Amino acid sequence: QVQLEESGGGSVQAGGSLRLSCVVSGYPYSRYCMGWFRQAPGKEREGVAAINIGGARTSYADSVKGRFTISQDNAKNTAYLQMSSLNPEDTAMYYCAVNGGYLCGGWYNADSYPYWGQGTQVTVSS
């Protein structure tokens, strides 16, 4: 059974930082694509960043480039999303997701991910 568990969300003031973590268990392959998504109330889920686990390729949405960094710790089966210079528009529920597309092609398409975590809330106040 594949399980993803996010942590690290919270409330911060604008300009602050948070680091989200996603621990993956039960996935039968060592190479896959992990994406981070977010969804604010009344808005569609959007892709934030992706990384090919076991490789080095990363991808980012334009809205977070230069502020967010996605990384991995293979020994811990964990991926991270370091978020800096946060602003109120970053407020959302953040989810990690996994698919078997190792090269992360079309990473921003939420429908391509069969496995999802339960989400962690990020709230940024002005």
Q: Which two tokens stand for residue 11?
A: 């409330």
Rounded average pLDDT over 55-74:
94
- Going by pLDDT thresholds of 50, 70 and 90, the confidence category of residue 54 is confident
In the predicted model, is pLDDT for residue 38 greater than 90?
yes
- Going by pLDDT thresholds of 50, 70 and 90, the confidence category of residue 9 is very high
Neighbours of 3 (CB within 10 A): 12
Tell me the C-alpha distance between 27 and 4, whole Å.
9
Look at residue 98 in the predicted model and tell me its pLDDT.
96
Look at residue 122 in the predicted model and tell me its pLDDT.
98
Rounded average pLDDT over 1-5:
96
